[in-house]
A and B are shown apart, each in its own frame.
Chain A
């Protein structure tokens, strides 16, 4: 079957660094996406990886290892506004290339 695993919840301190992991098992691989979702709001696109390696975008970076079926989202210099859920989604090769969504990781930032 197809599956995406993320930790349910993480806690970090303002100003620190946090790494949110995502492991996946899908029928084929055609890209991995990270989204941020504040409570009650829409998911917003953060990053996209299709090749192995690190993609950096300001305070956020995303890493992919296709051979390990593994990705992480790295958030640096954490701010209180980073408190949100972070969703990992993978585009496989079947089901008409639909995104397969993880349940999300709720990140709580403490002062």
Chain B
């Protein structure tokens, strides 16, 4: 158990809908990262928040957005869902901002999103 929690574990929805995925980082971690992993594909970095502020953006679609709240939990919002958005969505956390070379990311169990 990494100490990172994600809810829900599974989510099934229809095209065009909007969903929210939630992540709570490990105690003491200030950074949260969101990743997408489609079936048999590699990890695609979406976005990073550090202490409530957006820190870095990857290949995140405009239909997707995220935020980190004062208690450091984070939410990833996915809207106008398409079939191709079906994937595992992972949240990871790390102690600091990621600039330190030893800053290690620890992953939550993921949310499996199925868009029908």
Tell me if B's interface is mostly helix, strand, loop or mixed.
loop
Chain B residue with the shortest CB-CB distance to A98: B56
Contact between B58 and A98, CB atoms less than 8 A apart = yes
Indicate with 1 or 0, residue by residue over A40-72, a CB within 8 angstroms of chain B CB atoms: 111111001010000000000000000000000
User: Given B45, B102, B110, which contacts A101 in the complex, CB threshold below 8 Å?
Assistant: B45
Tell me if A44 and B2 are in contact (CB < 8 A): yes
Interface pair A101/B42, CB less than 8 Å apart: yes
Which residues of A lie under 8 Å from residue B104 when comparing CB positions? Answer: 33, 45, 48
Number of B interface residues at 8 Å Cβ cutoff, please give it: 24
Q: Are B55 and A102 in contact (CB under 8 A)?
A: no
Q: Which residue of B lies closest to A91 (CB)?
A: B101
B58 CB contacts on chain A under 8 angstroms: 98
A73 interfacial by beta-carbon distance below 8 Å: no
How many chain A residues sit at the interface, stated as a range, is 20 to 34
**Contact partner, B107, options A40, A42, A91, Cβ 8 Å:** A42
User: How far apart sit A31 and B101, CA to CA, in the bound complex (Å)?
Assistant: 5
How long is the Cα–Cα vector from A101 to B98 in the complex, in angstroms? 15
Contact A42 to B56, CB < 8 A, known contacts A48-B104, A97-B98, A101-B42: no
Q: Cα distance A41–B2 when bound, in Å?
A: 12
**Residue B88 CB within 8 A of the other chain:** yes
A50 B102 Cβ-Cβ under 8 A? yes
Confirm or deny: B116 has a beta carbon within 8 angstroms of a beta carbon on chain A.
Answer: no
Q: List the A residue with the shortest CB-CB distance to B41.
A: A103
A-B contact pairs, 8 of them (CB 8 A): A30-B101, A31-B101, A33-B104, A41-B109, A45-B106, A50-B101, A102-B42, A103-B41
Top 4 A-B residue pairs of the complex, sorted by shortest distance between their CB atoms: A31-B101, A42-B107, A96-B56, A103-B42
